[in-house]
Chain A
Amino acid sequence: MRRAWGALVGALAAGTLFGLGLARSGMTDTAKVRGFLDFTGAWDPSLLFVMGGAVLVHGVASRLIARRTAPLFDGRFHLPTRRDLSASLVGGSALFGVGWALGGFCPGPGVVSLTSGAPAAIVFVVAMGVGIRLVDGTRGAPTGSLQSRDSAH
Chain B
Amino acid sequence: MSIAPDWIHALQGGVAIGAASSLLLLVNGRVAGVTGIVAGALTPREPGFDWRALFIAGLLAGGALAKVLFGAAGSSAGTGVAQALAAGLLVGVGTRLANGCTSGHGVCGNARLSPRSLVATVTFIATGALTVFAMRRLA
Judging by beta carbons under 8 Å apart, are B62 and A26 in contact? no
* Measured CA separation A56–B70 after assembly (Å): 25
Judging by beta carbons under 8 Å apart, are A65 and B88 in contact? no
Judging by beta carbons under 8 Å apart, are B31 and A152 in contact? yes
> For the complex, would chain A's binding face be called helix, strand, loop or mixed by DSSP majority?
helix
Q: A24-B9, A100-B128 are in contact. Are A78 and B30 (CB under 8 A)?
A: yes
Judging by beta carbons under 8 Å apart, are B92 and A134 in contact? yes
Least CB separation from B104: chain A residue: A152
Best-buried of A88, A98, A134 by chain B (most CB within 10 Å): A98
What residues of chain B lie closer than 8 Å to A145, measured between beta carbons? Answer: 39, 43, 46
8 Å CB interface, B93-114 against A: 93-114
Judging by beta carbons under 8 Å apart, are A153 and B105 in contact? yes
* Measured CA separation A123–B11 after assembly (Å): 29
What residues of chain B lie closer than 8 Å to A98, measured between beta carbons? Answer: 90, 94, 127-128, 130-131
- Interface size class of chain A, counting residues whose CB lies under 8 Å from the partner chain: 35 or more
Closest CB in chain A relative to B102 CB, distance in Å: 4
**Further pairs besides A134-B93, A153-B116: 15, Cβ < 8 Å:** A18-B55, A30-B78, A39-B129, A54-B107, A57-B18, A89-B99, A95-B94, A96-B94, A99-B87, A102-B83, A103-B79, A104-B87, A106-B103, A127-B87, A142-B43
Q: Name 24 interchain pairs, CB-CB below 8 A, sorted by A.
A: A10-B23, A11-B28, A19-B62, A21-B12, A37-B128, A41-B132, A50-B17, A54-B14, A62-B111, A80-B31, A82-B116, A94-B124, A97-B124, A97-B127, A97-B129, A102-B86, A107-B102, A124-B79, A127-B89, A128-B89, A132-B96, A142-B46, A145-B39, A149-B40
Using CB atoms and an 8 Å cutoff, list the residues of chain B in contact with chain A.
3, 6-7, 9-36, 38-40, 42-43, 46-48, 50-52, 54-67, 69-70, 72-81, 83-117, 119-121, 123-133, 135-136
Q: Which 10 pairs across A and B sit closest by C-beta, in order of nearness?
A: A131-B92, A15-B58, A19-B62, A25-B13, A53-B14, A103-B87, A127-B88, A28-B74, A92-B97, A21-B16
